[in-house]
Chain A
Amino acid sequence: MSEKVDFVVIGSGAGGSAAAARLCEGGASVLLAEKGSPASTSNDALRAIGKYYTNEGLSAAMGNCLLPIPTGEVLGGTTRINSGTCLKTPKDLLRRWEAVEGFRADGFEPHLDEAWRRLKVKPVPEETQSRSTKLFFKGLDSLGISGGHALERGEDGCVGSSRCCFICPRDAKMSAEKAYLAPLLGKPGFEVACETELVSLAPGKNPRVTLRSESGTREVECKAVVLACGTLRTPYFLRRFGLGRAPAGDALSVHPATKVFALFDEKVESDKGVPQAGGLLDPDEPRIRYEGIHMPLELAAMSMPFEGRELRRWMDVHERIATFGFMIRDESRGSVRYPVGPRLPWLSYRLQDGDLARMTRAMRFLGKVFFAAGARKVVLPLNRPGSVFETAAQLQKADLSDVRAADLQMMAFHPLGTCGMGRVVDGNLKAADGVYVADGSVVPESLGVNPQITIYAFALRLAEHLLGVPA
Chain B
Amino acid sequence: MSAVGAIVFPLARSYAAHAGIEIADDRLRADLEGRLAGAGNLSRGLFVGAALFVRAAAPVLFLGKPLGFSALSSDDREELLRRLQCARSPLLRGLYLGIKPLLTGLCYTPEFLKRAAEARV
Contacts and interface: CB of A to CB of B under 8 A. Distances in A.
B19 A311 contact: yes
Interface in B99-116: 100-101, 104-105, 107-110, 112-113, 116
A209 interface: no
Given A56-B39, A63-B90, A319 B100 contact: no
B38 interface: yes
A68 B101 CA distance: 13
A50 interface: yes
B110 A307 contact: no
B113 A302 contact: no
B19 to A, nearest CB: 4
Interface residues of B, number: 41
Interface stretch (A277-285, A293-301, A364-372): A293-301
B55 to A, nearest CB: 15
B81 A308 contact: yes
A449 B113 CA distance: 34
A60 B94 CA distance: 8
A302 B100 CA distance: 6
Given A50-B43, A309-B19, A407 B88 contact: yes
Interface in A316-343: 316-319
Contacts of B97: 66, 68
Contact of B88 (A55, A300, A301, A406): A406
Interface in A259-299: 267, 297-299
Given A47-B38, A56-B39, A383-B85, A309 B20 contact: yes
Nearest to B84: A307
Nearest to B43: A56
Contact of A302 (B38, B91, B105): B105
A46 B101 contact: yes
B1 to A, nearest CB: 20
A50 B39 contact: yes
Contacts of B35: 46
Contacts of B113: 297, 300, 315, 318-319
Interface string B61-87: 000000000000000011001101111
Nearest to A46: B105
Interface string A48-73: 00110001101010111110100000
A103 interface: no
Given A302-B105, A406-B88, A308 B110 contact: no
Interface in B1-55: 18-21, 35, 38-40, 42-43, 46
B94 A66 contact: yes
Given A66-B93, A66-B97, A308-B77, A302 B104 contact: yes
A384 interface: yes
B98 to A, nearest CB: 7
A55 B94 CA distance: 14
Contact of B78 (A55, A60, A267, A309): A309
A305 interface: yes
B112 to A, nearest CB: 8
Contact of B104 (A55, A66, A301, A404): A301
A312 interface: yes
Interface in A235-272: 267
Given A306-B85, A383-B86, A404-B88, A315 B108 contact: yes
A315 B18 CA distance: 14
A315 B106 CA distance: 13
Nearest to A297: B110
Contacts of B110: 297-298
A282 B79 CA distance: 37
Contacts of B116: 315-319
Contacts of A308: 18-19, 77-78, 81-82
B30 to A, nearest CB: 15
A210 to B, nearest CB: 25
A384 B19 CA distance: 20
A385 B104 CA distance: 20
A62 B97 CA distance: 13
B39 A307 contact: no
Contacts of A305: 85
A56 B86 CA distance: 24
A46 B104 CA distance: 11
A301 B81 contact: no
Contacts of A310: 78, 82
A64 B91 CA distance: 11
A307 B35 CA distance: 21
B86 A311 contact: no
Given A46-B101, A50-B38, A309 B94 contact: no
Interface of B: 18-21, 35, 38-40, 42-43, 46, 77-78, 81-82, 84-91, 93-94, 97-98, 100-101, 104-105, 107-110, 112-113, 116-117, 119-120
Given A62-B94, A406-B90, 12 more contacts: A44-B38, A46-B101, A50-B43, A56-B39, A58-B42, A58-B46, A60-B94, A68-B97, A301-B108, A308-B82, A311-B19, A311-B104
23 contacts: A46-B101, A46-B105, A47-B38, A50-B40, A58-B46, A62-B90, A65-B90, A66-B94, A300-B108, A300-B113, A301-B104, A306-B85, A307-B82, A307-B85, A308-B19, A308-B77, A309-B20, A311-B19, A316-B116, A318-B116, A319-B117, A407-B86, A407-B88
